[in-house]
Structure 1
């Protein structure tokens, strides 16, 4: 059957991690699994020139994009701060479009989605990119349905990943598809990462999605909510804690966090439950109680709404087992 030729496309000011997560993950699969169809990983760029990454480090390439021909197993376009220039480069986009026709699987990482979109490869498809650039991608390419939430999305043979380290999740998904879940787990363990995050897991959490509130009142309430998810966190109780009226607290939360206190509390409790599910063996009922959910069913409803999967399924994909010692 031969090797699986996996080509990563880079460009000036590409993101180093977008590239390295893919190349390292695939190389480790070869080392750990000795699959009957090993990966042959190649980095391509216009003219075969070295890539000066956005970090300032330089990567040497193995292929000239212009001279590269298929068939390819997988074509993966990296992202990076230079994505707008790359997406506006007709020659680069044209070669990506040409190679996509000769590839079994097509993918982008982070803002590399803009290159796929410019090539028309995302027209009529749902796709994701880094949450910071999702609105820009949607405005520029109205034929693409941009969803900024998931870590990665598969639509047929086209995959788009959210950004930077989500390239590792995408790579693990490729390894599992190609060689089965056990090799993907081995690679994840050696990389000291999640066994595999579900593709529809949200990109951001409460701890990273928004800057610290400018309002002292909101900051105080947020700290209390995150530290005490099992407490009475009704809006009236939180307003009393902060020394303001419920109406004023609603206004402050909407102004500084873009959501009402009740919605924020629900999200905080769901994320607290996710952490306990991944890090402990507590029964789901105990997790629900510790995180302020009255019943396991209310936890399941909130969890499915947030992550798209049940608490039990989330635990199965997230939990790291002790390795002894």
Structure 2
């Protein structure tokens, strides 16, 4: 029995991220090979072609005013969206198309367009890990989830950075045609049906600004200079000549964390860098200040949801022409 057609409208604009379009489009196209029935329509505000992030012109099927009602509206992202305000006509286009769509989804920074259109108000959402804090400020009533690869809130879907659009598209295929068909698509495209861990496995743990308070900068410098030294709360407080309680208060006020969590994050980032450079997990634990491999493993489980070994296999190399990490066989 032939399945009914599922129409997808993709809202594009000048400066759009090419992979935000091509990644999900390949998923839907591949789904058609396995029995799905998706039809994509590319929409721009005025119906004219748009330039992509890689300089390629993207042809457009129709303008917003002539677009039909879609089963799914997909809004792509672009590098300039977080830095500047979303053009009013683009926000209006998303709002008008969404009002007629069965479900609405954004890829990466496309969430900023949904936010400007008022579609994230009182909704759970996510975007690229670099911009989650900014999205939360732009959309104060939205509940932004910084570590999710994609988030569903009713008929609204938002995804994390770039390739997470593929994860979201697979989830939509599974919703439309079942897990078996989605699994066939994932196998054909050689991607995970569901990736382990969230966005934090791709982000820098200490991505925020450096501490402004001289005492906190001293603590940071001391830990980074010798991560294997004694960095208990008492030792750190004594080093900068304040009480443990006052040091803890300073960390909470300026960095919204505790001294011990901050020490662990510095060691954790160092351990990741050591793994990236080819050291095995035991070496990485010792050189970054963790007392044992087991303590490093627990830190990886807390922050990434995967083991150091899995992290190294997944992110150190594509596997093409590479050698095994030093000390591992």
CA distance, structure 1, for counterparts of residue 317 and residue 153 of structure 2: 29
Unaligned runs of 5+ in 1: 187-195
Q: Report the secondary structure of 1:299's partner residue.
A: helix
Q: Which moved more, 1:292-301 or 1:170-179?
A: 170-179
CA distance, structure 2, for counterparts of residue 277 and residue 70 of structure 1: 50
**The one of 186, 190, 203 aligned to 1:180:** 186
CA distance, structure 2, for counterparts of residue 23 and residue 53 of structure 1: 10
CA distance, structure 2, for counterparts of residue 83 and residue 229 of structure 1: 44
Pair 1:133-2:110 in alignment: no
**The one of 96, 100, 110 aligned to 1:94:** 96
Judging changes above 3 Å, is the alpha-carbon distance between structure 1 residues 259 and 34 closer, same or farther for their aligned structure 2 residues? Answer: closer
Q: Report the secondary structure of 1:83's partner residue.
A: coil
Query: 1:307 matched to which residue of 2?
Result: 304
Contact in 2 for aligned 1:108/1:160 (Cα 8 Å) = yes
CA distance, structure 1, for counterparts of residue 58 and residue 49 of structure 2: 6
Cα RMSD over matched residues? 4.7
Deviations 1:193-233 (A, max 9, x none): xxx784342675344222x3333443343233235333322
**The one of 85, 88, 99 aligned to 2:88:** 85
Unaligned runs of 5+ in 2: 174-181, 323-329
Contact in 2 for aligned 1:197/1:318 (Cα 8 Å) = no
> How many residue pairs align between the two structures?
298
Q: Report the secondary structure of 1:47's partner residue.
A: coil
Query: 2:198 matched to which residue of 1?
Result: 199
How high is the TM-score relative to the length of structure 2?
Answer: 0.65
Judging changes above 3 Å, is the alpha-carbon distance between structure 1 residues 43 and 233 closer, same or farther for their aligned structure 2 residues? Answer: farther
Query: 2:288 matched to which residue of 1?
Result: 291
Contact in 2 for aligned 1:77/1:107 (Cα 8 Å) = yes
Deviation, 1:323, is 1.6
CA distance, structure 1, for counterparts of residue 125 and residue 74 of structure 2: 16
Q: Report the secondary structure of 1:8's partner residue.
A: strand
Deviations 1:97-154 (A, max 9, x none): 323x1x6x8334225255279575x688632133233333553xx4x53223435435
Q: Report the secondary structure of 1:245's partner residue.
A: coil
Pair 1:260-2:266 in alignment: no
Deviation, 1:311, is 3.9
How high is the TM-score relative to the length of structure 1?
Answer: 0.66
Pair 1:167-2:165 in alignment: no
Q: Report the secondary structure of 2:317's partner residue.
A: coil
Judging changes above 3 Å, is the alpha-carbon distance between structure 1 residues 169 and 83 closer, same or farther for their aligned structure 2 residues? Answer: same
- Bigger radius of gyration among the two: 2
